[in-house]
């Protein structure tokens, strides 16, 4: 039987975070406002009115956080760069103090023997760009590529790999279609140009990064989709949802084409957004696909017409504090399914997020169980031939969980948000020992 110790030699262990969720210092050192500052300032958007103004105060406590990662023995750290720290209005003038923060962080990580893996966009668009239409506008893709070039010019001598976008699906759906994330627009299917403009931004930025010698990944949030029954209606609904969630952002990047969106009444050019040459740019070869996995999705035919699918609850499985179903084998199913769908077009996969929220306890046995069973599922996918290169736990620290504020705790390390005291949980020691054992096993095999 395969388990987590069978993951391949050279496999990279890490933790992940994102700028708005941990940094705080929202108005310091020339940082411009982002859409999340605007959104959280609006009443009724985030549970209990929480904001990321201070978050984990990582902007001032990054030394301590790097030391925590050194203690874990991780090979790599996935963090995100706040675009409005680097370019306060999203274009033109560069804020030296903002870039200097990431410059120091990268040096400190390398000194600690940790590879930096920055994500360039984890949802904190400069507000000035949103004022001009945000990702609904094609121009934002070009601004994103310019920003990518600015960052790579400064950090590219030390950063080997980059992630362009984090979960463009979630950003489009929650941010622009439903409005429960920033920028809070509720455009339903009229949000679809946001998909294309984000992907175009990815393609343009990838070219800039590669021209500077960087390796490029994109991170998509994926879910195995299961039909609630074998009825033709449920099967069609599941296929429609799978197309939207899993194919809309993978097919253009991996195959150079959009999937058939006719179930949504949407044309192949996404309402006129796609222009000649765009798909060639978007489909330039990737060095890796970042996959975020949390849970599978059960889909039924909709009771009312509107969208061609409806969500159904997954019964009979444990749930996290967020209410998300815990189904570890979904990770294996997802990865094996990806390989089946994309074959040789699937680049090596890195799990760039996987984790769970549980109550505040320091003795977080539920988290240990979640992580260990998911790693076993990952090892099973590797044994079935999926080329998996790394795994990043979400998250190093309890942090600002978007519309849920500070109510969902995903950290290996507990954070007291009043005192900012960090306290490693039992899962921290468990992950540290797992990583050490993997390193030792493979060092032995090599010698
Ligand atoms: C996001 C993270 C988020 C996590 C848990 C992912 O969708 O990339 O920012 O905190 O899931 O919800």
- pLDDT score of 447 more than 70: no
Residue among 41, 54, 156, 39 nearest 103 (CA)? 156
The first and second tokens of residue 203, run together, are 């393609």
Check if 137 is active-site: no
Within 6 Å (CB) of ligand 1, which residues are found? 18, 21, 166-167, 170, 221, 292, 353, 394, 401
Classify residue 261 as left (phi > 0), alpha (psi -120 to 50) or beta: alpha
Mean pLDDT to the nearest integer, 17-23: 99
Taking only the tens place, the pLDDT of each residue in 296-315 is 999 999 988 789 999 999 99
Pairing assessment for the beta strands 288-292 and 76-80 based on DSSP bridges: unpaired
Query: Atom 12 (ligand 1): residue with closest C-alpha?
Result: 401
The percentage of residues in the chain with a pLDDT greater than 90, rounded to a whole number, is: 96
Is CATH 2.40.110.10 the classification given to domain 4-446? no
Ligand 1: which atom is nearest the Cα of residue 294?
11
Predicted pLDDT at 3: 83
Cα(75)–Cα(56) distance, rounded to whole angstroms? 22
Taking the CA of residue 404 as reference, the ligand 1 atom at the shortest distance is: 12
| Residue 353 appears among annotated catalytic residues | yes
- What integer is the mean pLDDT of 245-264? 97
Q: What is the pTM of this model?
A: 0.98
pLDDT for res 5: 80
Long-range pairs, 312-317, Cβ under 8 A, ≥24: 312/228
What distance in Å separates the CA atoms of residue 239 and residue 242, rounded to the nearest whole number? 5
Q: Are 182 and 39 in contact (CB under 8 A)?
A: yes
Question: Ligand 1 atom closest to Cα of 357?
Answer: 5
Please give the average per-residue pLDDT across 411-431, as a whole number: 98
Residue 203 predicted with pLDDT over 50:
yes
Q: What is the pLDDT of residues 106-158, one digit of tens each?
A: 999 999 999 999 999 999 999 999 999 999 999 999 999 999 999 999 999 99
How confident is the model over 68-92, as pLDDT tens digits?
999 999 999 999 999 999 999 999 9
Ligand 1 centroid distance, CA of 444 (Å): 36
């Amino acid at each position: 039987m395969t388990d987590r110790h069978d993951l391949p030699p050279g496999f990279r262990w890490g933790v992940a975070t994102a700028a708005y969720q941990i940094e705080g210092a929202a108005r310091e050192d020339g940082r411009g406002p982002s859409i999340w500052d605007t959104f959280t300032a609006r009443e009724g958007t985030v549970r209990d009115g929480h904001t990321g103004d201070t978050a984990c105060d990582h902007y001032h406590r990054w030394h301590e956080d790097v030391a925590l990662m050194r203690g874990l023995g991780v090979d790599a750290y996935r963090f995100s760069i706040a675009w409005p720290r680097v370019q306060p209005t999203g274009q033109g003038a560069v804020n030296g103090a903002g870039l200097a923060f990431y410059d120091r962080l990268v040096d400190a990580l390398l000194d600690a023997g940790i590879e930096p893996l920055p994500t360039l966009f984890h949802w904190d668009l400069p507000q000035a760009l949103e004022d001009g239409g945000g990702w609904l506008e094609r121009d934002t893709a070009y601004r994103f590529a310019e920003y990518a070039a600015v960052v790579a010019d400064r950090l590219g001598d030390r950063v080997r790999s980059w992630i362009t976008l984090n979960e463009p699906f979630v950003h489009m759906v929650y941010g622009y279609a439903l409005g429960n994330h920033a920028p809070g627009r509720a455009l339903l299917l009229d949000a679809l140009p946001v998909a294309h403009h984000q992907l175009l931004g990815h393609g343009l930025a990838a070219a800039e990064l590669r021209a500077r010698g960087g390796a490029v990944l994109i991170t998509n949030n994926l879910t195995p989709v299961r039909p609630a029954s074998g009825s033709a209606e449920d099967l069609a609904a599941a296929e429609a949802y799978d197309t939207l969630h899993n194919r809309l952002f993978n097919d253009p990047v991996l195959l150079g084409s959009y999937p058939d969106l006719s179930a949504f009444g949407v044309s192949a050019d996404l309402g006129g957004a796609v222009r000649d040459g765009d798909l060639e740019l978007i489909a330039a070869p990737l060095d890796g696909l970042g996959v975020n996995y949390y849970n599978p999705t059960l889909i039924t035919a909709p009771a009312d017409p509107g969208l061609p699918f409806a969500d159904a609850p997954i019964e009979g499985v444990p749930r996290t504090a967020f209410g998300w179903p815990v189904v570890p084998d979904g990770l294996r199913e997802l990865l094996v399914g990806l390989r089946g769908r994309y074959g040789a077009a699937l680049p090596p996969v890195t799990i760039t997020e996987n984790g769970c929220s549980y109550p505040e306890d320091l003795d977080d046995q539920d988290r240990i169980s979640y992580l260990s069973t998911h790693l076993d599922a990952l090892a099973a996918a590797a044994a079935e031939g999926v080329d998996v290169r790394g795994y990043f736990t979400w998250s190093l620290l309890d942090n600002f969980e978007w519309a849920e504020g500070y109510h969902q705790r995903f950290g290996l390390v507990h954070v007291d948000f009043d005192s900012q005291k960090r306290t490693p949980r039992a899962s921290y020691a468990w992950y540290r020992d797992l990583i050490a054992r993997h390193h030792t096993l493979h060092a032995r095999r090599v010698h």
